């Protein structure tokens, strides 16, 4: 049994505390690798032996996927970057994993939220305390890597924390696996928060809406999530809106009645939040202000999220999209070894952003025979690839064939090797991939590997290649329309 530790991080100072704790644990097998995946451009200096990876800045789901896909261990132990493992965490983890049957997909650790002594906890601290009862929270969760690969990992349509772990757990249970509780424990100290943090947190209502579309109206009960206050917030926001409209239109009696109802609802909400906590002036002021703002914020994010969820929850999307480089992502400059000559095609950034927003993993498959011909070096090819990612954002692993056309390799398109390698790197099967390219060799490579293909012709595409292609799109962006339609997944 081998395991790696996967830590998605926003670069917070708490990461240093976590890594120091991991370095000083007592007993138990050490992880093979400790992977810190920084979300976007955030960075912190890491100690020796801790590996840094980069995520495209789309939230913890995408960051966790980058980490486990880089691992080859049997188990992936996910930790949030603001937890502190107890000293026996590795020993307890080994006990938790020992002897688990093949039908157990994951084991969850226990979360302890230490609250301050000598005073009652604030509203924010009580919310954090709720993590102790959360089901399947990835604050400390170890998953079998093969299960993650089989189910595609975390759904990157969830851009924030909390619901992406519940979504994965429900998909795992639906697939017939079990999830169990372990004995290991991490501490999750409540961190300092900004004055309006509880208002900004209402953006998570959009993720609740997506959960409802993906898993049905009973998803909270299935995921062990608390019931929430959506109906109450909608009612409060509605009476406030009615009061405003009535006042603006001169309906004084209706405005007064609606305003009274809104005030009663708001006071009740504030009192419920304030009663268990301290009565200090800063706490009272924070609860008073945020109790006014939370209901409309929660209502807005839920309904906006509902609209977005219906658009995102399309069936039969492919497991991955594999893209040709020259002529598809960037203008074809023969044997280009100069990053300054990289020019993306007109709609490349928009097309890739749409695929990333839909949570579809990407990879690039490219013939670069100029290396074999002595016209460019592999280092120059890599520099050009790096420049493409600077302009277009991360595009997943790069699979490059540097052989010449007469070497008889299995990787040079139209052979299927690059497609097969890319699918393996993304932990998917070739038959669930879509290849997008600009010439017949791209289509043939896809077909030989069992993948689907979309041809995006340009001035160098031969008419017979267009005529024989199974699907043709006039641009990369229109090819993405086909991918996201759900009709070719």
pLDDT for 167 equals 93
- Residue 314 pLDDT exceeds 60: no
The band of 92, judged by pLDDT with boundaries at 50, 70 and 90, is very high
**Average pLDDT, whole number, for the chain?**
92
pLDDT over 70 at 87, yes or no: yes
Would you state the structure tokens that stand for residue 221, as one six-digit string?
A: 């009960």
Tens digits of residue pLDDT in 245-272 = 999 999 999 999 999 999 999 999 999 9
pLDDT at 486: 66
Residue 176 has pLDDT above 90, yes or no: no
For the stretch 317-373, pLDDT in tens is 899 999 999 999 999 999 999 999 999 999 899 999 999 888 899 999 999 999 999
Q: Using 50, 70 and 90 to split pLDDT, how confident is the model at 99?
A: confident
CB 3 within 8 A of CB 106: no
Model confidence pLDDT, tens digit, residues 278-287:
999 999 999 9
Percentage of the chain beyond pLDDT 70 is 98
Return the structure tokens found at 215: 């898993």
pLDDT tier, 295 (very low <50, low <70, confident <90, very high otherwise): very high
Which of the pair, 146 or 333, is modelled with greater confidence? 333
Checking if the pLDDT of 438 tops 80, the result is: yes
Q: What is the pTM of this model?
A: 0.68
Q: What is the pLDDT of residue 3?
A: 95
Mean pLDDT of 428-452: 93
Three-state SS annotation for the chain: CCEEEEEEECCCCHHHHHHHHHHCCCCCCCCCCEEEEEECCCCCCCCCCEEEEEECCCCHHHHHHHHHHHCCCCEEEEECCCCEECCCHHHHHHHHHCCCCCCEEEEEEEEECCCCCCCCCCHHHHHHHHHHHCCCCCCEEEEEHHHHHHHCCCCCCCCCCCHHHHHHHHHHHHCCCEEEEEEEEEECCCCCCCCCHHHHHHHHHHHHHHHHHHHCCCHHHHHCCCCCCHHHHHHHHHHHHHHHHHHHCCCHHHHHHHHHHHHHHHHHHHHHHHCCCCCCHHHHHHHHHHHHHHHHHHHHHHHHHHHHHHHHCCCCCCCEEEECCECCCECCCCCCCCHHHCCECCCHHHHHHHHHHCCCCEEEEEECCHHHHCCCCHHHHHHHHHHHHHHHCCCCCEEEECCCCCCCCCCCCCCCHHHHHHHHHCCCCHHHEEEEECCHHHHHHHHHHCCEEEECCCCCCCHHHHHHCCCECCCHHHHHHHHHCCCCC
178-195 pLDDT, tens digit per residue, is: 999 999 999 999 988 899
Confidence of residue 57 (pLDDT cuts 50, 70, 90): confident
Q: How confident is the model at residue 415 (pLDDT cuts 50, 70, 90)?
A: very high
> pLDDT for 155-174, tens place per residue?
888 988 889 999 999 999 98
Which residues are known to be catalytic? 324, 326
Tell me the C-alpha distance between 244 and 186, whole Å: 48
Domains belonging to the chain, first-starting first, are 3-189 (3.90.550.10), 194-313 (no CATH), 320-484 (3.40.50.1000)
**pLDDT greater at residue 276 or residue 55:** 276
pLDDT at 27: 85
pLDDT score, position 44: 72
Picking from 15-24, 77-86, 261-270, 468-477, which range would have the lowest pLDDT averaged per residue?
Answer: 468-477
Is residue 313 over pLDDT 70? no
């Amino acid at each position: 049994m081998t395991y790696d530790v996967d830590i998605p991080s926003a670069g917070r100072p708490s990461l240093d505390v976590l890594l120091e704790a991991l370095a000083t644990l007592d007993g138990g097998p050490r992880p093979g690798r400790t992977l810190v995946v920084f979300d976007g451009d955030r960075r912190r200096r890491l100690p020796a032996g801790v590996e840094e990876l980069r995520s495209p800045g789309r939230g913890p789901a995408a960051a966790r996927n980058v980490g486990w896909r880089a691992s080859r261990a049997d188990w992936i132990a996910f930790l949030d970057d603001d937890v502190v493992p107890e000293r026996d965490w590795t020993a307890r983890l080994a006990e938790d994993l020992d002897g688990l049957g093949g039908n157990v997909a994951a084991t969850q650790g226990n979360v302890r939220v230490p609250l301050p002594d000598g005073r009652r906890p604030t509203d924010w601290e009580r919310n954090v305390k709720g993590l102790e009862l959360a089901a399947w929270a990835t604050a400390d969760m170890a998953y079998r890597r093969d299960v993650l690969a089989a189910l595609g990992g975390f759904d990157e349509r969830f851009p924030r924390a909390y619901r992406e772990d519940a979504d994965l757990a429900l998909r795992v249970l639906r697939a017939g696996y079990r999830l169990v509780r372990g004995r290991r424990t991490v501490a999750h100290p409540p961190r300092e928060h900004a004055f309006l943090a509880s208002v900004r947190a209402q953006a998570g209502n959009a993720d609740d809406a997506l959960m409802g579309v993906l898993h049905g109206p009973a998803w909270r009960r299935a995921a062990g999530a608390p019931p929430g206050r959506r109906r109450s917030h909608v009612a409060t926001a509605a009476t406030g809106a009615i009061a405003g409209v009535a006042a603006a239109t001169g309906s004084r009696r209706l405005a007064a009645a609606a305003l009274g109802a809104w005030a009663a609802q708001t006071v009740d909400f504030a009192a419920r939040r304030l009663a268990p906590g301290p009565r200090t002036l800063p706490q009272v002021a924070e609860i008073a202000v945020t109790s006014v703002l939370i209901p409309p914020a929660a209502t807005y994010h839920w309904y906006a999220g509902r609209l977005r969820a219906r658009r995102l929850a399309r069936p039969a999307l492919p497991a991955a999209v594999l893209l040709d480089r020259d002529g598809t992502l960037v203008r074809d400059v023969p044997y280009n070894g100069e990053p300054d000559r990289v020019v993306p095609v007109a709609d490349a950034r928009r097309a890739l952003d749409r695929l990333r927003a839909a949570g579809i993993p990407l990879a690039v498959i490219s013939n670069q025979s100029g290396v074999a011909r002595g016209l460019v070096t592999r280092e120059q090819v890599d520099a050009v690839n790096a420049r493409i990612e600077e302009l277009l954002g991360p595009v997943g692993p790069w699979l490059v064939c540097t052989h010449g056309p007469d070497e008889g390799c299995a990787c040079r398109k139209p052979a299927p090797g690059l497609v097969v390698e890319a699918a393996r790197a993304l932990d998917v099967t070739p038959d669930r991939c879509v290849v997008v390219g600009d010439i017949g060799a791209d289509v043939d490579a896809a077909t030989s590997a069992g993948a689907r293909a979309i041809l995006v012709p340009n001035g160098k595409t031969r008419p017979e290649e267009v005529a024989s292609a199974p699907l043709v799109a006039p641009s990369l962006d229109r090819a993405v329309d086909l991918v996201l339609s759900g009709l070719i997944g």
